[in-house]
Structure 1
């Protein structure tokens, strides 16, 4: 990564502010090519600075580790409810802005505060606490082997790991965690993939699939996170329709907040480990930790809307104006680097901090480590097609994810449906009790039974994966 210019008050080379004046624009290929130069310029203005996170959308971006930690740990002064967003309420945010899907209010734990947040978060934590750690590792290994088997034996010894491995692996693991039957799992994966790819109608595909999944779990509770979320939300309200909508929003949050960052972490960690500068002999855990410190998968996010005007350095953060945390910049704060050796390896902010910190950070780390280890164990002579420093990054302000990760290796076979998979314990450790029937107004068609999927259909990714595990 290139070093920032000496005069940090001069916008970095290629920055649109050179020509236009005004705020730094934190998006586009120039930013993606060298975000640290942008962060260095912003740091010179104090612990925070105004940026355009999307065309016509101004936010205050916090680049200081200490300031970020203070805001994340003080939700009473810095609430997360984006219905307080001044510019949005006043009609100053473009209706088609790419910032709206990321910052717009949703009735889930991420955008809630106080008692509402505590209840919603506790339901999610209770559901995640039922996940068996060893079974989760086995499920990750199984998903990894399936994906590796698709590219490792019948080609010329080359693959593009972001599309063929890092991105689909979390989707397979989450579909299993949620207890999806094949056909619903296919549509869940298509929906969440479409959302991140900007496919029209992807929101509807995902919402419909999850609504059918919830209806299915009412009729046939399983050993899965969806069933446990239904049980937890039934304890919060006697209105089942309201509870089911809350479960749906929580599932969307877990999918969007879990799969894409995990894909980024798996891809970047793999690239670091295979890169020209990685010291021989260091464990995979170190590569994943380094990726989280230096290439935070969620780069800039966590919108806060101050309750009142607040002084931060030489800046006044106005009540109701959005304040975003730059996890990427805060992790590489020069003031932090001075005593980084004394910090815990988990002191990074890649998983957030405070009451809104990621509730699944330990399972997420475990999945990432297991995914990279499987790749290296199955294909031990794998090498990057180009140096790590030359790899390209997606030009998004929200995430730090490689556009492609091309590699080469000696082709070899991965056995289909290893026997160890057949005896794997359920991922959820305890069955949930029987649940009441769904209301008649539950959206759309009822979910199919597992054996209702037509045999003639080829099926999507999750169907093919399940068939592979059965040796079909």
Structure 2
């Protein structure tokens, strides 16, 4: 076991100065200075014990090399949290905020082996049908809609997290899933409500997605929902089982995609718009730096060792949770010597190995397009205060700005041209599915966008976010 840490090596403000036992990785102190915590944990080796929530102990991996090894070896480090010792033994508080993040769900995120391969293949095959040019247009339309909502305000100010970075991925995803306006509104209310802790939000989301799946059985289209239905029908004989899998996959894409993408857009914009950003460097560099230095999913990816494993001087017990600190691994001082030789995309913000994010390319495209268009539409937009003075969401799981206040010269953004008629439905006809059981969705990190808020002068825009957007695109 490692020797006690020299008190002189503990950063100011770290609770290890005054507390014994595990380092708590939650609360406003951690959110204000996570690097101080990571520095203290690194002094204990490639991993260290932390409390990710009150009464919930996990082993947190802070080393880049150790994190990469674990992510690339799922046979030794499976993801199925049904192996979690403390949970199975009743030692995890029933109301713990860690449970929505770590408890098992029947989706690709918590599956291993053949089950994971099947679920993963369905997602990757569906994502392969996304047209890059159409995705760029959809992101541009969504961005223009949101900017038009606040750009003409006489005071020339906005909070980009609440009015832009937060809702933008929700609009794009609702379109990718092929939501009609009313279902899209409820999908956004549901997923936003889950992030905000709104009672009944999970029911709202599940019902909306169940209706969407049933609709796509009747009227398939060129969208991710239809493709997921088709892919699961190829490998699952039971229609009810296939539809339940599709629902869980949609929830995973929503919860694992929208909030981290919102965080990435916000942080990238803060870097790109900052006074210290070198003139001439492209938006892609700002997004890359944000993913390296401010990993949107900061601490996550639960693994449950199949056998006892030695890591450094610590023993990782079989069935005890091991979490990856993507934030600490990306900023590991051990990377300093060879980071210059690494590919610019070698960060772990999207994970690595068989569980790496299957949507990283579309996510990068959306983030770059969103930040570029913001600067194009508001050429003189500037931060109200520098990035180092901004506050962050107090979550151990994510690294997202709480607010991103900006100033600009007010201007009017014209409405988008009337969209062409939708393309004809694809040829295949999925088998009609039965009613879906309610399924508790996998929770995720905060988007910074409240389910009760309409971005961009909500008083001027009636109806839900997605229906308002669709009406705007149609020129109404």
Query: TM-score category by the smaller chain?
Result: over 0.9
Specify the alignment match of 2:96 in structure 1. Answer: 97
Post-superposition shift, 1:442? 4.1
- Superimposed CA distance per residue, residues 275-297 of structure 1 (whole angstroms, 9 cap, x where no aligned partner): 13211110000000000000000
Distance 1:16 1:339 in 2: 32
Structure 1 window deviating more from structure 2 (234-243 vs 304-313): it is 234-243
1:407 aligned counterpart, secondary structure: strand
2:394 aligned counterpart, secondary structure: coil
Distance 2:292 2:436 in 1: 43
1:324 aligned counterpart, secondary structure: strand
Task: Work out whether 1:438 is the aligned partner of 2:433.
Answer: yes
Contact in 2 for aligned 1:288/1:368 (Cα 8 Å): yes
| Structure 1, unaligned runs of 5 or more | 1-5, 445-456
Post-superposition shift, 1:369? 0.1
- The structure-2 alpha-carbon separation of the partners of 1:213 and 1:290, relative to structure 1 and needing over 3 Å to count, comes to same
Distance 2:326 2:160 in 1: 25
- Superimposed CA distance per residue, residues 422-450 of structure 1 (whole angstroms, 9 cap, x where no aligned partner): 24986xx99351112222x4459xxxxxx
Specify the alignment match of 1:178 in structure 2. Answer: 177
Distance 1:352 1:251 in 2: 19
- Superimposed CA distance per residue, residues 11-56 of structure 1 (whole angstroms, 9 cap, x where no aligned partner): 4333333333111111111111111111111011000000000000
Distance 2:163 2:347 in 1: 28
Specify the alignment match of 2:84 in structure 1. Answer: 85
Distance 1:46 1:424 in 2: 59
Post-superposition shift, 1:229? 0.2
Contact in 2 for aligned 1:146/1:468 (Cα 8 Å): yes
- Superimposed CA distance per residue, residues 240-291 of structure 1 (whole angstroms, 9 cap, x where no aligned partner): 0110000000000000000000000000000001113211110000000000
Distance 1:330 1:134 in 2: 34
Structure 1 window deviating more from structure 2 (275-284 vs 390-399): it is 275-284
- The structure-2 alpha-carbon separation of the partners of 1:212 and 1:9, relative to structure 1 and needing over 3 Å to count, comes to farther
Distance 1:205 1:169 in 2: 20
Contact in 2 for aligned 1:300/1:327 (Cα 8 Å): yes
Post-superposition shift, 1:57? 0.4
Specify the alignment match of 1:313 in structure 2. Answer: 312
When normalised by structure 2's length, the TM-score is 0.92
* 1:125-136 correspondence runs (5 A): 125-136=124-135
Contact in 1 for aligned 2:221/2:425 (Cα 8 Å): no
Post-superposition shift, 1:187? 0.6
Distance 2:19 2:162 in 1: 36
Specify the alignment match of 1:379 in structure 2. Answer: 378
Contact in 1 for aligned 2:81/2:104 (Cα 8 Å): yes
- Paired residue total: 450
Specify the alignment match of 1:460 in structure 2. Answer: 464
- Superimposed CA distance per residue, residues 269-328 of structure 1 (whole angstroms, 9 cap, x where no aligned partner): 000011132111100000000000000000000000000000000000000000000000
Specify the alignment match of 2:250 in structure 1. Answer: 251
Task: Work out whether 1:75 is the aligned partner of 2:70.
Answer: no
Post-superposition shift, 1:238? 1.2
Post-superposition shift, 1:417? 1.8
Distance 1:210 1:103 in 2: 22
- Superimposed CA distance per residue, residues 169-223 of structure 1 (whole angstroms, 9 cap, x where no aligned partner): 0000000000001111001000110111111111111111101100111111111
Specify the alignment match of 1:109 in structure 2. Answer: 108
Specify the alignment match of 1:26 in structure 2. Answer: 25
Contact in 1 for aligned 2:194/2:202 (Cα 8 Å): yes
1:51 aligned counterpart, secondary structure: strand
- The structure-2 alpha-carbon separation of the partners of 1:266 and 1:430, relative to structure 1 and needing over 3 Å to count, comes to farther
Distance 1:202 1:369 in 2: 30
Task: Work out whether 1:471 is the aligned partner of 2:444.
Answer: no
Specify the alignment match of 1:148 in structure 2. Answer: 147
Distance 1:12 1:396 in 2: 20
- Superimposed CA distance per residue, residues 392-435 of structure 1 (whole angstroms, 9 cap, x where no aligned partner): 1111010000000000000111111236xx24986xx9935111
1:235 aligned counterpart, secondary structure: helix
Specify the alignment match of 2:407 in structure 1. Answer: 408
Note the aligned Cα RMSD (angstroms).
Answer: 1.7
- Superimposed CA distance per residue, residues 334-358 of structure 1 (whole angstroms, 9 cap, x where no aligned partner): 1112211111000000000000000
- The structure-2 alpha-carbon separation of the partners of 1:7 and 1:393, relative to structure 1 and needing over 3 Å to count, comes to farther
Post-superposition shift, 1:237? 1.2
1:466 aligned counterpart, secondary structure: helix
Specify the alignment match of 2:55 in structure 1. Answer: 56
Distance 1:436 1:115 in 2: 24
* 1:385-396 correspondence runs (5 A): 385-396=384-395
Contact in 1 for aligned 2:220/2:425 (Cα 8 Å): no
Distance 1:14 1:298 in 2: 23
Contact in 2 for aligned 1:9/1:44 (Cα 8 Å): no
